[in-house]
Chains A and B, each alone.
Chain A
Amino acid sequence: MARTDPKKDVVIIGLGWTGSILGMELAQEGLEILALERGPDRETVPDFQYPNVIDELKYGIRLGFMQKPRNSTLTVRRSLTETAQPYRRLGSFLPGDGVGGAGIHWNGQTWRPMAEEFRLKSYVEESFGADIIPEGMTIQDWGVSYDELEPYFDRFEYMAGIAGKAGNLNGEIQPGGNPFEAPRSRDYPMPPMKQGVDAQMFEQAARAMGLHPFPRPAANATQAYTNEYGMQLGPCNYCGFCERYGCANYSKSSPQTCVLDALKRMPNFSYKVNSEVLKIELAEDRATATGVTYFDEAAQEEVFQPADLVIVAAYSLHNVHLMLLSGIGDPWDPVTQTGTTGKNYAYQMNGGTSMFFRDVEFNPFAAAGSNGVSIDDYAINQIDFAREGFIGGSYITAGISNGQPIRGISLPAGTPSWGAGWKQGIGDWYGHSMSIGSHGSNMAYRDCYLDLDPTYTDRHGRPLMRMTFNWKDNDIRMTQFMRSKIEPIAEAMQPDSWRSSYKSEGAQYDVRPYQTTHNVGGAIMGEDRETSSLNRYLQTWGQHNVFVMGASAFPQNIQYNPTGAVGALAYWAADAIRRDYLPNPRPLV
C-alpha cells in the first residue's frame, strides 16, 4: 500500500447515475464525501459539444464514451461446462466509463415496473400456482413493494424531468396514457414527445385493433425545465444522435444535466477521476467495511481511502465484480444452490418486426432516444401465464431513434449484403422502413450467474468476472408469443413487405450484436439473508456500512428498461440512509 489518505465520511464508487444521486442526497446531510470514478471527467462543453459529438464512427461505432475492454471486461460462457472466453470487443452490452457513466449515452426510456413485478414469485404462486415455475427458475420477490417505492419513482422522474402521459392517476384511468400501469401520484413533469410518422402509423393501427397505445416515457426534455437541484434542461431538438452520444443540447437527462453542477458546488463533496476502485476493504470481524483501495492513475499508485460509509455505484456488473473481489457475501454456487453474490444474473429478451413502405417518408434521422408509441396490452399483469406456458411479458413499441447509416439500414429479406444489389437496396429503402419491437422480461435461473474467472485477469492482476448466461425456453416462448401479437399489427399496416426477428427454440446467447445494456442481478435485494445479497434498503446483509445501488439489485429482469427502477431505488436507499441509518448506523433489517 503506497499511500493512505485522510478519512472521509462517505466514499462513493463510480460517478454515474446512482453515484451522482447518492452524492447529492448525502451531501445535503453535510457529510464529507469523496466519489471515485475510474474514467475521465466529462462535461457537456467540451465533451458533447456540437458538431464534434455528431460523429457516428467515433461514438456510435468505435464507442468513444464506453468502457474499453483493454481496461475492464469480463468473460462469458453459456453453460456450466463451457470454457468462458473474454469479452474482448464490446458487442452485446456497452457499460459506461467516465463521469456520468452510462447515464450520458443512454436513450432515456424511463419506465416504472408493474406492481406485480416487485413480488413476482408471490404473484405467480397466488395467481397460477407454484407448480408453473419451471425447474431451475429462481425468481424471487424484491422485498419492497411498488406502493412503498411510488414516492421515490416520483422523485426520480421529477429530478430527471421525464416527458410522458400518465395512464393511471391515483387509480383513475387517464385517456391516452398506459391503462395497465400501476397508479402514480401525479402526472409526468413534462408533456410527451412529438411522434414520428412510424409511431403515428402504429398508434392508428393499434387503436383500430382495440389496443391501448400511449407515448413512451422519455428522458428527452420537451420543455424548458428546472429541477429540485436548480439544474436546467432545454427542449430536445430531435438531433438523431442520442443513444451512444452525449447530448449537445442540455436536453437528455443525465448526471451532467440534472445533478453534477449542483453537486460540484457543495463544499463537502469532491471527486477524483481516473481512480479505479480495486477492492472494498473489510474490518477484521468483517461486520463493516473500513474503506476502499483504488488505483490513482495520475500518481501511479494504490491508495487506501478510509471511510465510514461505502456506496457502491459502479454499474450492476462492476458492483458484483467488486463484491466478489472483496469477499462481500458468499459467492453463489449453482450446484449446491448456496451463497448469494453473483446469483440471478439476468438480461433482456427483445425481438422485432421490420416493415418496408416504398411510398412513406420516415425521415429516420429526425428522432430522439425515447420518442415512440408503446402498448402494454401484453404486459406481465395482462398475461395468463398458466395458459400461455411462460412467465413474463413485454412492452411493444414503434419509435425510430436514429437514422445513422453505419449502425444499420434495414433491408427487405433477400437483399444481398454487398455488391450492386446492396447498393441498390440502401438507395431504395433508407428512410422507408420502420419496426415494431418487443422489449421483454428475462427470468432468473440457477445456472445464470456471475463469479470470478479462473484464468483471465485485468490490468491490475485481479481475476475478471465470469458471466454464465444463456437463453431459456420460458423466455423464448414469451418472445414467440409477442411475435404472434406483433405480426398481425404489422400486417394490418399493409407494408410492401416485412421481416421478423425473434429468438426461437434452441437460441444461444451471442455476445457480438448489440442487444441492451440492461444487465441485472448478481447482488439481489430481498427479504432473507440466505437468498439475497442486500436487504430491502440495498444494504449488504453482512456489512451494514456498505450499500449497493444499481440494477444488480433486481432479482430477475423486469419487462422494462431498468433506469426508472434504478433511480427510484437510489432515492429509496438514500432516504433510508438519511432518516434511519446515519442517526444510528446498524443493519436496518
Chain B
Amino acid sequence: MHARAQAAREVPLDQYQPEYLTAAEYAFIMAATDRIIPEDGEGPGALETRVPVFIDRQLAGDFGTAADLYMEGPFTPTADPFLGTQTPLTPAEIYRGGIAAFDAWCAQTHNASFADLDAETQDAAITALSEGDVPLGPELREFWSLLLQNTREGYFSDPQYGGNAGMASWVYIGFPGARGSFFEWVGRPEAYPLGPVNIAGERA
C-alpha cells in the first residue's frame, strides 16, 4: 500500500481522539510541536507528520508509565541533573504537570494559555522554557527535554507509531528507512538514489 495514501485515510489531526491527553493538553501538544518543528521552510513540520498522535500514544503506553524505569524511593528530584532523572513522576505525569505549570506561566506572563498565543510569543515562551526560565519545580524539570526528544522521535520513527506520516521526514533528509542493505553503497561518493521504505514494506 502507498504510505501517503494510508496517512491520508487516517483521521485528521484535529479530530483525533487522544488516548492519554486531555483535550486541553492535546491542544497544547499540537501548538508546541508546531513551533518545535514548524511547517515553514523546506521539509515537513510536526503537524504534517502527525507528531501529536505519536506523543499521545507513547504517553498512553510503556514509555508514559515508566514501565522500564527504576521507580523505588526515596526520590531526590533536586539532585544534580548529571545523576539522571530522579523525579517520582512518570513521563506521562511529567507532561500532565508540565503542561499545566507552563500554561499557568503563559497565562501569567502573556495573558493566555500557550495554544492561544501568536507564533512569535509562543517562540519566546518556548525559549524561556528551554533555557530553564520557567519555574516548574524540580519534579518537572525534564518536561522540556522530554517534549523535545519525543517530538523528534515522532518526526523520525517508523510510521507504525503514529508519527512520520508518509515517511516525509525520511524523504526530506534522505534517510532510506528500513531498507537495511547497502553493500554496494559503502564508500561511493554519490547520493543514494532510492527513497525510503517503512517496516510495513511501503514506499514513500
Chain B 144-186: CB-based contact to A (< 8 A → 1; otherwise 0): 0000100111001110010000000110111111111111011
One of B41, B83, B181, B185 near A85 (C-beta < 8 A): B83
Known: A70-B70, A248-B180, A418-B148. A367 touches B76 (CB 8 A): no
Q: Is the CB of B79 within 8 A of A366?
A: no
Number of B residues, CB within 8 Å of A: 62
Q: Does A512 contact B (CB under 8 A)?
A: yes
- Closest residue of A by beta carbon distance from B62: A62
Bound together, the chains give a CA A417 to CA B37 distance in angstroms of 10
- Closest residue of A by beta carbon distance from B73: A456
Q: How far does the Cβ of A44 sit from chain B's closest Cβ, in whole Å?
A: 14
Known: A57-B161, A195-B187, A406-B152. A91 touches B37 (CB 8 A): no
One of A61, A199, A511 near B153 (C-beta < 8 A): A61
Q: How far does the Cβ of A220 sit from chain B's closest Cβ, in whole Å?
A: 11
Q: Does B138 contact A (CB under 8 A)?
A: no
Number of A residues, CB within 8 Å of B: 68
Q: Is the CB of B82 within 8 A of A241?
A: no
Q: Is the CB of B63 within 8 A of A62?
A: yes
Interface residues of chain B: helix, strand, loop or mixed (majority): loop
Q: How far does the Cβ of B190 sit from chain A's closest Cβ, in whole Å?
A: 6
Q: How far does the Cβ of B32 sit from chain A's closest Cβ, in whole Å?
A: 10
Residues of B within 8 A of A418 (CB): 35-37, 126, 130, 148, 151
Q: Is the CB of A238 within 8 A of B183?
A: yes
Residues of A within 8 A of B152 (CB): 406
- Closest residue of B by beta carbon distance from A56: B157
Interface centre among A73, A241, A363 (most CB of B within 10 A): A363
Bound together, the chains give a CA A50 to CA B152 distance in angstroms of 24
Q: Is the CB of A237 within 8 A of B72?
A: no
Residues of A within 8 A of B183 (CB): 194, 235-238
Count of A-B contacts judged by CB separation below 8 Å: 184
- Closest residue of B by beta carbon distance from A201: B189
Q: Does A379 contact B (CB under 8 A)?
A: no
Bound together, the chains give a CA A405 to CA B80 distance in angstroms of 29
Q: Is the CB of B72 within 8 A of A511?
A: no
Q: Is the CB of B156 within 8 A of A69?
A: no
Bound together, the chains give a CA A396 to CA B197 distance in angstroms of 35
Interface residues of chain A: helix, strand, loop or mixed (majority): loop
Q: Does B68 contact A (CB under 8 A)?
A: yes
Q: Does B67 contact A (CB under 8 A)?
A: yes
Q: Does A196 contact B (CB under 8 A)?
A: yes
Q: Is the CB of B199 within 8 A of A419?
A: no
Chain A 58-87: CB-based contact to B (< 8 A → 1; otherwise 0): 000111000011100100111000010111
One of A239, A455, A509 near B82 (C-beta < 8 A): A509
Chain A 230-254: CB-based contact to B (< 8 A → 1; otherwise 0): 0000011111110000001000000
Q: Is the CB of B158 within 8 A of A419?
A: no
Q: Is the CB of B148 within 8 A of A403?
A: no
* 27 A–B contacts, CB within 8 A, in A order: A56-B156, A56-B157, A61-B157, A69-B68, A77-B83, A85-B83, A85-B84, A86-B70, A87-B70, A88-B70, A240-B180, A363-B186, A363-B188, A363-B192, A366-B192, A418-B126, A419-B36, A419-B126, A420-B40, A423-B42, A427-B43, A430-B173, A456-B72, A508-B82, A510-B82, A511-B82, A512-B81
Nearest first, the 4 A-B pairs at minimum CB distance are A366-B182, A57-B157, A430-B173, A69-B70
